[in-house]
Structure 1
Amino acid sequence: MLLMSSPAFALIHDDGEDPGPGLSIGQTLGLYVGIPVLLFLVIAGLVTASDKSRKKAKG
């Protein structure tokens, strides 16, 4: 019973603000999976393009 009264289980924060609606499954996947994968691909593409241009200049 003591655990149920902890702030982690409160529906309303101590300052009175409502936390608002949760994210849908699509929004959660887009935020936590889609954006990191997209950033990884952009960075990997930039590194690959940089490496290819350096090899052409040497050869």
Structure 2
Amino acid sequence: MSDKVKKNALRAGTVTVGAALLPLLSSPAFALTRDDGDQPGSGLSVLDTLGLYVAAPLVLFLVIAGLVTLGDKRGKKS
């Protein structure tokens, strides 16, 4: 390998490692203690979580897909 290729590979590796480690060093990663004024709510149950992050997006997707299909069928009258 030429020196230029080695230098570019080292630079790319350094940037990749730096980008991967940066989120680990940010403040939310160290949020183990409460700040003044924090008022956390109660946690979600398993059913609440599944409903919010699984069922609701699926229902929304199906409604939008149904409306698009309905609009497509109405537009193709000949």
Same fold (TM over 0.5): yes
How many Å separate the matches in 2 of 1:35 and 1:15?
Answer: 34
Q: Which runs of 5+ in 2 are unaligned?
A: 1-28
TM-score of the pair, normalised by structure 1: 0.72
Task: With a CA cutoff of 8 Å and minimum separation of 6, indicate the structure with the bigger relative contact order.
Answer: 1
Percent identical among aligned pairs is 60
Number of aligned residue pairs: 50
2:43 aligned partner: 22
Measured after TM superposition, the shift of residue 7 of structure 1 is 4.3
State the secondary structure of the residue aligned to 1:31: helix
Greater Rg by CA: 2
Measured after TM superposition, the shift of residue 18 of structure 1 is 3.3
- 1:1-59 → structure 2 map (5 Å cutoff): 7-10=30-33, 13-56=34-77, 59=78
Q: Which runs of 5+ in 1 are unaligned?
A: 1-5
How many Å separate the matches in 1 of 2:52 and 2:65?
Answer: 20
